[in-house]
Structure 1
Amino acid sequence: MQRPEAWPRPQPGEGAAAAQAGGPAPPARAGEPSGLRLQEPSLYTIKAVFILDNDGRRLLAKYYDDTFPSTKEQMVFEKNVFNKTSRTESEIAFFGGMTIVYKSSIDLFLYVVGSSYENELMLMSVLTCLFESLNHMLRKNVEKRWLLENMDGAFLVLDEIVDGGVILESDPQQVIQKVNFRADDGGLTEQSVAQVLQSAKEQIKWSLLK
């Protein structure tokens, strides 16, 4: 599926980034009521998806905009989100001007991040699809040990659900079918292998710096 380039990507400093920094929202356009600015429709609804272990350490992460441009900033954000959510029973959190939906499974925490104005149900559909797809792929063992052993498949699953912040699929059965087709058609892609290696390198690097 080609990403529709006609839709505008949120610009740095707007929306969540501005809210996080405590800055003012972008000004209203001419003709809009004072104090009210309607958000432009956009297909770029997902800012990030990441999975942490029960100590808050990154296992898998993909960011789809430049709200957190460096790995260090991303991991600080992930740690703060983990500290805010790991001991609560809720499934939705608002943090740093962003809407976050999350789910725990044994020794894993799965997170989907969107802007403050995103529909929580839409974000939750992505989270549910990710969990159910991993549940099927890992044969109902959505836990750290099995995820690490199947990290290549986990990246493929995520890529079928979200591409560049655009939601492609929310039906786990369709996701699994596409992942199986890609695996049967040519095995792991060079991109997915590179992603796994990069994630492992980053995890080792930041573990050593602690």
Structure 2
Amino acid sequence: MAALSLYTVQAVLVLDSNGKRVFSQYYGPPHGPAGGRAAASRDAQRAFEKGLFAKTRKQATDILLYDGSVVVYKEIVDVVLYVVGAGDANESLLYLTVVALRDALDILLKHAVDRRTIVDGYDLVALAIDETVDDGIIIETDAEAIAGRVSRPLTHDTPGRLDLSEQGLKSAYQLAKERFAERLKNSL
């Protein structure tokens, strides 16, 4: 029986339609042997990505074995989202992870997931992946929960963007009016 481990994800990759890296995050267990894809050189990682893209281009399935790893992936417009797991990883859990990431990105990028919006919203993509996989451990597979954690609404104490819409201006006016009335009442 193989030793069970929480460290099931070796990498999360986003490659464009030409196989070029848009986003990559490699993981290795913190107290395991030094090595694996996380410790590999950048050239070795790119060679792995190039081979993986060539292999998945002609596949009709979303799950495959490549270079001793279980790979699940989803094609989205002009990018491919990969979750690479250990050879003995649970394919169902990895598949749930890639689907959750795809759906969370769809929510966060307002249903326009393509190379350009991923590059423009790179911070949201990185945060979504960090909320899904932490150091190779899958921590969330609910797309709405992932998107909710990444895009929490600002509180009144937190400085943020000004809402210059008509509704935003009305609420700012109402808040200022209430505070002015409070100060006037307290000064009397």
Q: Please report the TM-score for the alignment, with normalisation by the length of structure 1.
A: 0.68
Structure 1 residue 39 displacement after superposition: 1.1
Shift in Å, 1:75: 0.8
Q: Where in structure 1 do 4 or more consecutive aligned residues deviate above 3 Å?
A: 183-187
> Which residue, 60, 69, 79 being the options, matches 1:98?
69
2:19 maps to 56
Q: Does 1:71 align with 2:34?
A: no
Separation in structure 2 between the aligned mates of residue 123 and residue 96 of structure 1, nearest angstrom: 17
Amino acid at match of 1:67: G
Does the 8 Å CA contact 2:131/2:146 hold for their aligned counterparts?
Answer: yes
User: Is 2:80 the counterpart of 1:109?
Assistant: yes
Amino acid of the residue matched to residue 77 of structure 2?
Answer: I
User: Which runs of structure 2 are paired with 1:37-186 in the superposition (5 Å)?
Assistant: 38-65=1-28, 66-68=35-37, 69-181=40-152, 184=154
3-state SS in 1 of match to 2:12:
strand
* AA partner of residue 57 (structure 1): K
State whether residues 10 and 136 of structure 2, in contact with CA within 8 Å, keep that contact through their aligned partners in structure 1.
yes
Q: Residue 10 of structure 1 corresponds to which residue in structure 2?
A: none
- Inter-partner Cα distance in structure 2 for 1:142 and 1:89: 21
Secondary structure of the 1:100 match is strand
1:94 is displaced (CA, Å) by: 0.6
**Could you tell me how far 1:50 is from its partner in structure 2?**
0.2
Identity, in percent, stands at 34
Aligned with 1:55: secondary structure? coil
Q: Is 2:108–2:151's contact at 8 Å kept on the other side of the alignment?
A: no
Counterparts in 2 of 1:78 and 1:184: CA distance versus 1, 3 Å: farther
TM-score (norm 2): 0.76
Taking the aligned partners of 2:154 and 2:23, their CA distance within structure 1 comes to 23
Greater C-alpha Rg: 2
C-alpha separation in 1, matches of 2:106 and 2:151: 14
C-alpha displacement at 1:44, in angstroms? Answer: 0.5
> Can you give the 5+ residue segments of structure 2 that lack an aligned partner in the other structure?
29-34, 160-188
